[in-house]
Structure 1
Amino acid sequence: MSAWLPTAPCTPRACVEPARTRAAVPRAVLRLTAVAVLLLAGIALVPAGHRLPAALVRAWCRWIVRAAGVRVRITGRAAPAGGLLLVANHVSWLDVPLLAAVRPARMVAKAEIRRWPVAGAVAAKAGVLFLERDRLRALPGAVARIAGALREGAAVAVFPEGSTWCGRARGPFRRAVFQAALDAGVPVQPVRIRYLAGGRTVSTAPAFVGEDTLLASVWRVASTRGLVAEAQVRPVLAPGGLPDRRALARAAEPGDAVPPAGGRKTTAHTKNMCAL
């Protein structure tokens, strides 16, 4: 792994709280089964070349999140058509279907996913734009591919933090991907993702951070009661409305839990943020 890659200091031990109310094991297993059925249905359709209506894709993604036992709350609306860079903070594996429920888009993902069994082939068929994060020299080419997709009228979704955070702390948005929007002359639409429990209390239970395993994170979500996934769709940032990618990245950030100057956060600071 290259030293320039963004990393978050969030870890399951420091940041992820135990669930206050837990679902019974049979209910959690039923939730996981429902998620698996929905994913298998998607896998069956994508390789067959089906082009599903956007409304159905959004509904399917909502069903995936809801099947995991998490209610979905989306406020605001994404631009319905045309090239659009959709950017959001990154907390959980749930972020992907949640963001697609806002507007179906070509996701930007790390290149390692292309080599995963089954999932890699499905991701490639679905139009995922793979980014070789450990090769800095590959970055200009990746930005050019994203800009090309945007010029063709596609929506492209990306998590510019470059790493998952716990949800109570966050990282700065990396600037490179915003250059693609500037080059293509398309708007940027920020989305703020939060996971709530007990009304409006931010929950870190869905976080997928540090050395956490996907299986452990999935089980934690399925066995936690009362979770709400909230996506706040912010107004679009028009192309040319800001002078450069640095200003565009800053304008797109969620605006809370801002890291210290320099964009770095110590583990102690993260623990303090998670205690808020």
Structure 2
Amino acid sequence: MGRVRAVWILGALAAVTLVGLPVQWAALRVSRPAARRIPVLYHRILLRLLGTRLTIVGRPAPGRPLLLVANHVSWFDIPLLSAIGPLSFVAKSEVGTWPVVKTLARLQRTVFVDRQRRSATGGTREEIAGRLSDGDVMVLFAEGTSNDGNRVLAFKTALFGAVPDGRAEDERPLLVQPVSIAYTRVNGVAMGRQHRPLVAWHGDKDLAPHVLELLRTGPLDAVVVFGEPIPLKEGRGRKEVARLAEETVRAAAMRALHAGEGLLAPLSERRQNR
């Protein structure tokens, strides 16, 4: 049964992707609003195909420029966040070499950071600053790597070196909003520590086998919590902002994992069954 489920999902997703790729490619050249919205639709279709139940607590801040700073559990974090609203990611340069993934990432206007070349940081910061000033919402996975889904690793302040200074060109303060991601159930059953490796993609796990295993396993329940935005302003450096964001993300993620989705649901702005 699991194999049939995986084959059906992959077939349906391949069909959607083949249609969506040229549409997004054209939108990037003629319509910025459409280019921002098409990935949202694509990832909502993906979540619906997988039967994912997503509970959202809070919402992205309306102010701009806006940088979302999140913990990182799995490749599945990408469609989860992308299904909520228009955004792009800040990713390590290696992602830009992965088959298939690199194409999807570029079509979502991902900014790639070369961590091995400090000389490239200035250019990356300028690119991110320009995107933020243009109203794009950017996402940074501040742990610098994915984890086992049972904890939140320390945020790497060095990654904030790619974050632009605290104000946009029109003097608006940059808002850094903490975002917590937690996976709580699989097939409707509470997911304990021993089951989270089904979702968590970390260490030396190969991507393709992990994707197939997750597709065979069954529907997931996930919780995404948006914290209060932290203005990056004069007198508040990147290290302090990174620390505050880490504390907020860890507290919300642990609450989601320990309390379970049922206790969080009353606080949710909306439930999305996709």
- Normalising by the smaller structure, the TM-score range is 0.7 to 0.9
Distance 1:87 1:40, change over 3 A: farther
Distance 2:112 2:40 in 1: 22
Greater mean alpha carbon deviation, residues 170-179 or residues 127-136:
170-179
Residue correspondence of structure 1 range 196-235 to structure 2 within 5 A: 196-197=184-185, 198-199=189-190, 201=192, 203-235=196-228
Distance 1:155 1:257 in 2: 21
Distance 2:101 2:197 in 1: 26
Instruction: Read off the aligned partner of 2:178 and give its amino acid letter.
Output: P
Distance 2:73 2:18 in 1: 24
Distance 1:233 1:174 in 2: 20
Distance 1:242 1:68 in 2: 45
Pair 1:255 & 2:243 matched = no
Task: Specify the SS of the correspondent of 2:89.
Answer: strand
CA shift, 1:142, in A, is 1.9
Aligned to 1:107: 89
CA shift, 1:186, in A, is 1.1
Residue correspondence of structure 1 range 231-246 to structure 2 within 5 A: 231-240=224-233, 243-246=236-239
Q: 1:41 aligns with which of 2, 7, 19?
A: 19
Q: 1:31 aligns with which of 1, 5, 9?
A: 9
Structure 1: which 4+ aligned runs deviate by more than 6 Å? Answer: none
**8 Å Cα contact 1:31/1:68 also seen in 2:** yes
Aligned to 1:72: 54
Q: 2:74 aligns with which of 80, 83, 92?
A: 92
CA shift, 1:238, in A, is 2.4
Calculate percent identity across the aligned residue pairs: 33
CA shift, 1:128, in A, is 1.5
Aligned to 1:189: 177
Given the two structures, how large is their TM-score scaled by the length of structure 1? 0.74
* Cα RMSD after superposing both structures: 2.7
CA shift, 1:121, in A, is 4.5
Distance 1:199 1:121, change over 3 A: closer
Given the two structures, how large is their TM-score scaled by the length of structure 2? 0.75
Instruction: Read off the aligned partner of 1:100 and give its amino acid letter.
Output: S
Q: How many residues align?
A: 236
